[in-house]
């Protein structure tokens, strides 16, 4: 492939009229993620995910050497990008829809692209990336439309480009159908120079497989000519570079990711290339240009001080700089970019055969390692060296000290000593001296100082004791800078062991550090670690800058005075296992066991030995060892078993480690083995006797005993309380002591109660062997019997409480307590001298076996008595007299009380014992200070039953008392009984009280309906109008608005007003002065009858009314007036007239007088009763009509009535006229009368 300089227009493209030679991509080249070929197009994907498609970009890159892609930061020939596509995955883009754009010259932005400016660049005439979504699929791809594609596809197969047809397959070529006849082919372009190739190697350490290194070739103006990749061997080759280019070239190696790119010589690790390496050279007409890139070529490029756009100086300057750097580093006059170094390690990190160039690279790698560890501040090796480079004059040289005071020799010494052992060779040191002009040492270097330090496995300082795993550090300083060649090692002596400390690095002050890791078996006290000297080995030494080894008289006597190493074998120790030391003291090593468990202590991993020092020399001798045990790792103790004969033994232990070191012998301690003891013997001593049956009798409460037992035994004398013959927790310890003589007299510490007790002795000898004597019976008789306790039986104590000693009984029960089996004597201490005198004994009893109390019945007179008692034992000895028990006997009942109703509570007639009070006060009188109970004897049985108690109290000093009780309507029978302090009751006093309410309860009055079927004047001669019932309607309490309650017979009712009505009791008429009761009314004995005279009917119409006065004088002085509401009852209603109408005026036809005047209508204030049906009711009467016209004119009409009437319409829809109307003036035929209560007025008549 060939290409042209992208900065020059292509004459051939201008002459032939082909498409513009440049396609614009509005993104930087550095943001390109990958490049792919799709059919004839070139697809570019950015890191943001945006995808640009250059139509026919693949074809144009292969066929048009002038075609280039212009990015925002550089311009790249299409052929170069096509080779980049060749190293990546090539094929169709399955994630985007691609089709032929509407105009083949436009670059398309596909899926994920944001809107971009798309104005064509007129000055270069290039294609421009246009925003927008992918167009719809085309009918046929360019591969199908362009027949030369198959041939072209085969021709470029070697570049790894796969041509795809419409079917979308990869890796093959699909022939396309022949296109229609085309126009004449364009003219052939002018001949161009043949392209050239740049190739070479990259070495900073061996390049490793899987690297992500990228190589770029740029021209003198900094524009990209080609890009490529580095293979697994560190080689690269970029072909097809524009042959017309001449001048300086810049080759840059950079990393595209974080993968390991090369094997670092200083560390041997695969590391990522952090900063690019570059190399500069120049080209004339060579078809192939070799450019090897190393950190040294990067140093040369940095020396050129390129501007930011990486434009290069002229070829002569490039060549001169490369030569100066090569000469400065002692590499001779060879072109710097033509040399390929041999690194000190291979790709696997193993040592390799290197040349001086490779060793120099190791030194540069060491500089960077020191910088990474904080030993420098210059960053990359090139940056660190740049400040020492003096480019003045024709010959460049190194400055000894940089402007910031950094010393080159010190920095290089650190770099050398930071290398791995294979790199720290004499050859590498010589290369470093030569490359940087370091001065040779004057004479043999000498060690000027050695110091020690200790750290743990994590690097933390340790000041005194180093254990296994800790590190002993030795710092070695010289009179000149020292270098550790190869596996430099210092020999040390730790205690009696020789060990080696290996070189690990250099301190900032120049001292070399050697380390030794403390291992098992190492031990040295303070001052016990010394330096022996340098260990001689091929290729390993401690040298100066010239490579001369240090003086052999290294200070061997130097010691680590403040550090101790490892652990000594200490003295072991032992003790008997818990439970095996059975002696009285848990640590006295006296035991009853012959096979013992011995607990030994020692250091982890050591063996502890137990021996019996038979000859007492404090050392272990033949035949004395009893056994041994290994202390497990992580433990400090172990257990072993030893069998010993009865007697005394002297035991000791010592321990040995796995290096057969023996520790000191422990202290020798005795062990006594004692396997048996003898049973004790016990006798009474002190004041004692023997009973008839041979039982020992002690006359003192604290026994004195004579005991035979083994000396040194622990002795316990006890009272066998539970009688099981064995000393246990239930027993009482009498004394506990240590036996110091074979026979020993002891006094019991604990006293015993009188009586029979079993006494035993148990012993435990010094070894823990136990024995006991069988308990023996001892009778203790040292104390008089305690006074019994007396108590009046609570049921006989009838006083205010169960313990006041007061009773209404003459025969009472006395409860006495005392020891079982004793005799009880009770007496009445009449003279209160505390002693039983003649005639005072009132009873005796016995506390039976197993009893601790008894009850004795005695008879007492009405008086105050002082009762006492005492107990008598089996020997007839009387015990102490009890305290006085006072018993007061009262057999007389209090006087009968009186009970009366308080005058203030007698609300009715005084003295009638009738009250309406809800809280009634009762006055009582009885025996002074006696108590009383008031109860309501509901069932009249004379006894206060449950729920009948009302009040209780105590009479005052004057014998009076008052109580207030809550009353309920009805008869109440109150009873009062008086009680004295011992419960004697008086005769009962009674009071009967009648409890009533005040006036009876009121209710809404009911309407009384009178039967008006005969409510008219049936007999004009009797002057009465009556209702049909002979005795009238039955009157009830509800008709008067009353409720008949308890005591209705006491409610009196009298009439105060009766109009047209008459009241009957049991059919007998009552006058207004007669009184009937509410009970009679409730019993239905009271009736009322309507009765109205003709005159009354004519005057007032149908009417009835009544008022009553209600009282209850027995309970209250209050009265109430009640009105009777009535109505007339008629099936079809009635026409009711209250007052009559006036008569019509009269006219005498033959008279010459005027017509007569009409009469006036009735006008009384009446009460009218309607019926239950619809009535027509007239109140006042109307006036009569005037007489007809006579000789003297018409008669005047009468006036209508107008009084204030009360009209009770009753049920039904009534028509009511209140006042009457006036009569008309007389006319020819006489005036009409007005409508009114009495009907129409009379008309003119002839009389």
Query: Please, is 729 exposed, middle or buried when counting C-beta atoms within 10 Å of its C-beta (0-12, 13-18, 19+)?
Result: exposed
Structure tokens given for 842: 């009132």
Most confident of 77-86, 331-340, 628-637, 1180-1189: 628-637
pLDDT at 144: 34
Query: Which of 510, 263, 248 lies closest to 370, judged by CA?
Result: 510
Of residues 766 and 233, more confidently modeled: 233
Which residues contact residue 185 at a Cβ distance below 8 angstroms, ignoring those fewer than 6 apart? Answer: none
- Tell me the torsion sign for CA atoms 754, 759, 764, 770: negative
How far is the C-alpha of 880 from the C-alpha of 872, rounded, in Å? 9
What would the pLDDT profile of 557-585 be if each residue is shown by its tens digit? 466 667 888 878 889 999 999 888 888 78
> 360 — phi, psi (to 5°)?
-60, -40
So what's the pLDDT on residue 675? 85
For range 119-147, the mean pLDDT: 34
Phi, psi of 525 (to 5 degrees): -75, 180
Q: Is the separation of the CB atoms in 544 and 441 below 8 Å?
A: yes
Cα angle 223-226-230, degrees, rounded to a multiple of 5: 130
Give all strands (DSSP E) within 230-368, no chain letters.
235-241, 247-255, 262-263, 270-271, 277-283, 288-290
CA distance 1000 to 1056: 19
Assign 1186 a pLDDT band (cuts: 50, 70, 90).
Answer: low
Residues making up the chain, counted from first to last? 1247
Given a contact cutoff of 8 angstroms between Cβ atoms, the answer to whether 1014 and 934 are in contact is no
Residue 591 has pLDDT above 50, yes or no: yes
- Map tokens 């570059």 to a residue: 278
Give the alpha-carbon dihedral of 729, 731, 732, 737, to 10 degrees.
-70
pLDDT at 612 (0 to 100)? 94
Q: Give me the DSSP letters along 1139-1169.
A: SPPPPPPEE-TT--SPPPPPPPPP----EEE
Whether the pLDDT of residue 517 is over 90: the answer is: yes
Residue 914 parent element (H or E)? strand 914-915
**Displacement of CA 870 from its chain's centroid (Å):** 72
> Does the pLDDT of residue 687 top 80, yes or no?
no
**Position 393 confidence tier, pLDDT thresholds 50, 70, 90:** confident
What band does 150 get if pLDDT is binned at 50, 70 and 90?
very low
Q: Does residue 166 have a pLDDT over 60? A: no
Of the candidates 536, 544, 492, 538, the residue with the CA atom closest to the CA atom of residue 514? 492
Mean pLDDT check: name the lowest of 166-175, 467-476, 1073-1082. 166-175
Q: Hey, which bits of 359-415 come out as E strands?
A: 389-390, 397-398
CA–CA distances in Å: residue 703 to residues 722, 763, 844, 1221: 19, 18, 34, 139
The four Cα atoms 1148, 1150, 1155, 1159 give a dihedral, to 10 degrees, of -10
CB proximity list for 16: less than 8 A, separation 6 or greater: 186, 187, 189
Q: Is the dihedral of CA 792, 796, 797, 802 positive or negative?
A: positive
Whether residue 913 has pLDDT greater than 90: no
Determine the Cα–Cα distance for residues 1085 and 1068; give it in Å rounded to an integer: 10
pLDDT at 237: 95
318: left (phi over 0), alpha (psi -120 to 50) or beta: alpha
Q: How far apart are CA 402 and CA 411, in angstroms?
A: 11
**% of the chain residues with pLDDT over 70:** 76
pLDDT digits (tens, 9 = 90+) for 1002-1045: 888 888 777 654 444 444 444 445 544 455 678 898 888 898 87
CA dihedral angle for residue 265, residue 268, residue 273, residue 276, rounded to 10 degrees: 0
Distance CA 524, CA 1236 (A): 153
Q: What is the pLDDT of residue 143?
A: 30
Helices (H) and strands (E) in the chain, counts: 13, 82
pLDDT at 745: 94
Give yes or no for a contact between 1164 and 1049, defined as CB atoms under 8 angstroms apart: no
Neighbours of 528 (CB within 10 A): 18
176 by DSSP, 3-state: which? coil
1202, two tokens: 């107008």
Mean of per-residue pLDDT scores for the chain = 79
How many CB atoms are closer than 10 A to CB 1022? 11
- How many whole angstroms separate alpha carbon 1156 and alpha carbon 1115? 67
What pLDDT does 1234 receive?
Answer: 47
Q: Using the predicted structure, report yes or no on whether residue 376 has a pLDDT greater than 70.
A: no
Query: Range with the lowest mean pLDDT among 11-15, 324-328, 756-760, 1097-1101?
Result: 11-15
Bridge partners of 952? 933
Lowest-confidence segment of 310-314, 674-678, 998-1002 by average pLDDT: 998-1002
Q: Produce one character per residue of 476-487: b if its CB has 16 or more CB atoms within 10 Å, e if not.
A: bebbbbbbbbbb
* CB-CB neighbours of 725 under 10 Å: 12
1167 pLDDT higher than 50:
yes
What are the backbone angles phi and psi of residue 1094, rounded to the nearest 5°?
A: -65, -40
Burial of 180 per CB tally in 10 Å (0-12, 13-18, 19+): exposed
pLDDT confidence of residue 189: 57
Cβ–Cβ < 8 Å for 1187, 1156: yes
SS3 1106: strand
pLDDT band (50, 70, 90) for residue 238: very high
Query: What is the pLDDT confidence band of residue 1243, given thresholds at 50, 70 and 90?
Result: very low
Residue with tokens 């930071």: 418
Q: In the prediction, which pLDDT does 1129 show?
A: 61
Question: Which residue has better confidence, 160 or 1211?
Answer: 1211
CA distance 1126 to 599: 124
Is 633 or 914 the better-scoring residue by pLDDT? Answer: 633
Rg (CA), the chain: 73
Residue 508: what pLDDT?
87
Strand blocks (E) in 277-359: 277-283, 288-290
DSSP 469: T
Structure tokens at 282: 């120049």
- Residue 875 CB-half CA count within 13 A: 13
Task: For residue 573, give every residue at least 6 positions away whose Cβ sits within 8 Å of its Cβ, in sequence order, or none.
Answer: 600, 601, 653, 666, 667
What is the DSSP secondary structure assignment for residue 1232, as one 8-state letter? P
Q: Give the SS3 label for residue 829.
A: coil
For residue 671, what pLDDT band results from cuts at 50, 70 and 90?
A: very high
How far apart CA 205 and CA 501 sit, in angstroms, is 30
| Lowest mean pLDDT, pick from 466-480, 668-682, 838-852, 1104-1118 | 1104-1118
Phi, psi dihedrals of residue 159, rounded to the nearest 5°:
-85, 0
Render pLDDT for 620-649 as a digit per residue (tens, 0 to 9). Answer: 999 999 999 999 999 999 999 999 999 899
Q: Give the end-to-end CA distance of the chain in Å, rounded to a whole number.
A: 167
């Amino acid at each position: 492939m060939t290409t042209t300089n992208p900065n020059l227009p292509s004459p051939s493209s201008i002459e032939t009229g082909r498409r513009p030679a440049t396609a614009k991509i509005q993104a930087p080249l550095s943001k390109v993620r990958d490049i792919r070929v799709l059919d004839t197009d070139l697809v570019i994907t950015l890191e943001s995910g945006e995808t640009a498609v250059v139509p026919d970009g693949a074809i144009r890159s292969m066929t048009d050497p002038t075609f280039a892609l212009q990015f925002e930061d550089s311009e790249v020939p299409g052929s170069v990008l096509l080779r980049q596509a060749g190293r990546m995955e090539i094929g169709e883009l399955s994630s985007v829809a691609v089709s032929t754009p509407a105009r083949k010259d436009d670059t398309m932005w596909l899926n994920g692209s944001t809107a971009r400016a798309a104005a064509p660049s007129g000055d270069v005439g290039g294609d421009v990336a246009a925003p927008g979504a992918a167009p719809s699929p085309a009918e046929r791809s360019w591969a199908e439309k362009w027949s030369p594609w198959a041939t072209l596809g085969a021709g470029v197969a070697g570049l790894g480009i796969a041509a795809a047809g419409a079917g979308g397959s990869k890796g093959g070529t699909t022939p396309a159908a022949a296109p229609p006849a085309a126009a004449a082919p364009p003219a052939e372009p002018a001949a161009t120079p043949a392209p050239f190739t740049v190739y070479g190697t990259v070495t900073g350490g061996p390049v490793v497989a899987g690297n992500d290194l990228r190589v770029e070739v740029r021209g003198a103006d900094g524009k990209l000519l080609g890009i490529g990749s580095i293979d697994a061997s560190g080689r690269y080759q970029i072909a097809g570079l524009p042959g017309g280019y001449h001048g300086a070239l810049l080759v840059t190696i950079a990393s595209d990711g974080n993968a390991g790119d090369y094997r670092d010589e200083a560390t041997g690790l695969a590391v990522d290339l952090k900063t690019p390496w570059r190399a500069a050279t120049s080209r004339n007409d060579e078809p192939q240009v070799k450019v090897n890139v190393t950190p040294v070529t990067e140093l040369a490029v940095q020396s050129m001080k390129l501007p930011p756009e990486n434009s290069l100086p002229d070829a002569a300057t490039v060549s001169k700089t490369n030569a100066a750097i090569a000469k400065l580093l002692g590499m001779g006059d060879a072109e710097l970019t033509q040399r390929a170094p041999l690194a000190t390690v291979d790709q696997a990190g193993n040592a390799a055969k290197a040349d001086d160039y490779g060793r120099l690279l190791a030194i540069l790698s060491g500089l960077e390692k020191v910088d990474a560890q904080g030993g420098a501040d210059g960053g990359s090796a090139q940056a660190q060296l740049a400040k020492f480079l003096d480019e003045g004059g024709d010959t460049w040289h190194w400055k000894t000290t940089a402007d910031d005071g950094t010393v080159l020799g010190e920095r290089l010494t650190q770099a050398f000593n930071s290398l791995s052992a294979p790199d720290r060779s004499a050859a590498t040191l010589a290369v470093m001296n030569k490359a940087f002009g370091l001065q040779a040492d004057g004479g043999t270097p000498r060690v000027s100082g050695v110091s020690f330090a200790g750290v743990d496995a994590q690097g933390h300082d340790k000041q005194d004791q180093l254990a296994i795993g800790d590190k002993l550090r030795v710092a070695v300083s010289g009179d000149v800078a020292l270098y550790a060649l190869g596996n430099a090692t210092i020999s040390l002596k730790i205690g009696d062991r020789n060990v080696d400390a290996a070189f690990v690095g250099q301190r900032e002050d120049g001292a070399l550090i050697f380390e030794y890791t403390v291992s098992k078996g190492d031990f040295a006290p303070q001052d016990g670690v010394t330096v022996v000297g340098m260990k001689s080995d091929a290729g390993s030494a401690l040298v100066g800058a010239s490579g001369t080894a240090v003086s052999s008289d290294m200070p061997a006597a130097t010691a680590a005075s403040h550090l101790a190493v490892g652990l000594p074998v200490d003295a072991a120790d032992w003790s008997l296992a818990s439970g095996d030391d059975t002696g009285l003291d848990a640590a006295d090593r006296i035991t009853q066991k012959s096979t013992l468990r011995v607990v030994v202590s020692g250091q982890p991993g050591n063996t502890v030995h137990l021996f019996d020092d038979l000859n007492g020399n404090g050392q272990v001798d033949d035949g004395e060892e009893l056994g041994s045990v290994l202390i497990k790792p992580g433990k400090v103790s172990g257990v072993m078993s030893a069998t010993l004969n009865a007697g005394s033994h002297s035991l000791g232990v010592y321990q040995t480690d796995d290096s057969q070191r023996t520790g000191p012998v422990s202290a020798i301690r005795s062990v006594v083995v004692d396997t048996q003891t003898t049973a004790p013997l016990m006798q009474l001593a002190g004041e004692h006797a023997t009973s008839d049956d041979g039982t020992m009798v002690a006359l003192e409460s604290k026994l004195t005993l004579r005991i035979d037992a083994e000396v040194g035994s622990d002795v316990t004398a006890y009272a066998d309380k539970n009688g099981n013959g064995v000393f246990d927790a239930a027993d009482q310890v009498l004394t506990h002591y240590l036996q110091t003589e074979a026979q020993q007299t002891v006094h019991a510490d604990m006293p015993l109660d009188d009586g029979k007790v079993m006494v035993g002795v148990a012993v435990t000898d010094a070894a823990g062997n136990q024995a006991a004597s069988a308990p023996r019976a001892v009778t203790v008789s040292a104390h008089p019997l305690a006074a019994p306790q007396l108590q009046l039986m609570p049921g006989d104590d009838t006083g205010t409480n169960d313990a006041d000693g007061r009773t209404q009984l003459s025969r009472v029960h006395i409860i006495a307590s005392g020891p079982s089996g004793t005799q009880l004597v009770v007496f009445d201490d009449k003279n209160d001298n505390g002693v039983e005198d003649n005639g005072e004994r009132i009873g005796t009893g016995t506390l039976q076996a197993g009893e601790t109390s008894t009850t004795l019945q005695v008879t007492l007179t009405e008086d105050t008595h002082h009762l006492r008692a005492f107990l008598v034992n089996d020997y007839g000895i009387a015990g102490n007299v009890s305290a006085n028990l006072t018993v007061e006997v009262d057999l007389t009942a209090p006087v009968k009380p009186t009970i009366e109703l308080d005058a203030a509570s007698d609300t009715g007639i005084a003295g009638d014992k009738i009250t309406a009070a809800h809280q009634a006060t009762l006055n009582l009188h009885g025996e002074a200070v006696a108590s009383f109970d008031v109860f309501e004897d509901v069932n009249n049985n004379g006894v206060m039953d449950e729920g009948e108690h009302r009040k209780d109290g105590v009479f005052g000093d004057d014998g009076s008392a008052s109580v207030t009780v809550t009353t309920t309507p009805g008869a109440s029978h109150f009873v009062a009984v008086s009680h004295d302090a011992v419960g004697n009751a008086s005769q009962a006093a009674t009071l009967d009280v009648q409890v009533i309410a005040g006036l009876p309860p009121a209710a809404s009055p009911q309407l009384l309906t009178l039967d008006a079927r005969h409510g008219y004047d049936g007999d004009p001669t009797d002057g009465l109008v009556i209702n049909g019932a002979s005795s009238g309607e039955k009157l009830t309490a509800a008709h008067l608005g009353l409720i008949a309650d308890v005591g209705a017979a006491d409610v009196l009712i009298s009439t105060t007003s009766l109009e047209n009505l008459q009241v009957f009791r049991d059919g007998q008429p009552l006058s207004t002065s007669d009184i009937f009761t509410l009970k009679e009314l409730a019993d239905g004995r009271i009736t009322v009858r309507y009765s109205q005279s003709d005159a009354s009917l004519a005057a007032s119409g149908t009417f009835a009314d009544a008022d009553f006065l209600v009282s209850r004088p027995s309970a209250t002085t209050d009265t109430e007036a009640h009105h009777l509401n009535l109505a007339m009852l008629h099936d079809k209603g009635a026409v009711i007239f209250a007052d009559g109408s006036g008569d019509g005026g009269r006219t005498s036809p033959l008279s010459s007088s005027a017509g007569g005047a009409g009469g006036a209508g009735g006008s009384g204030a009446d009460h009218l009763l309607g019926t239950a049906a619809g009535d027509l009711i007239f109140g006042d009467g109307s006036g009569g009509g005037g007489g007809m016209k006579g000789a003297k004119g018409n008669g005047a009409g009468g006036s209508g009535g107008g009084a204030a009437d009360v009209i009770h319409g009753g049920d039904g829809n009534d028509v009511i006229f209140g006042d009457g109307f006036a009569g008309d003036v007389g006319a020819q035929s006489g005036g009409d009368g007005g409508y009114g209560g009495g009907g129409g007025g009379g008309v003119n008549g002839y009389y």
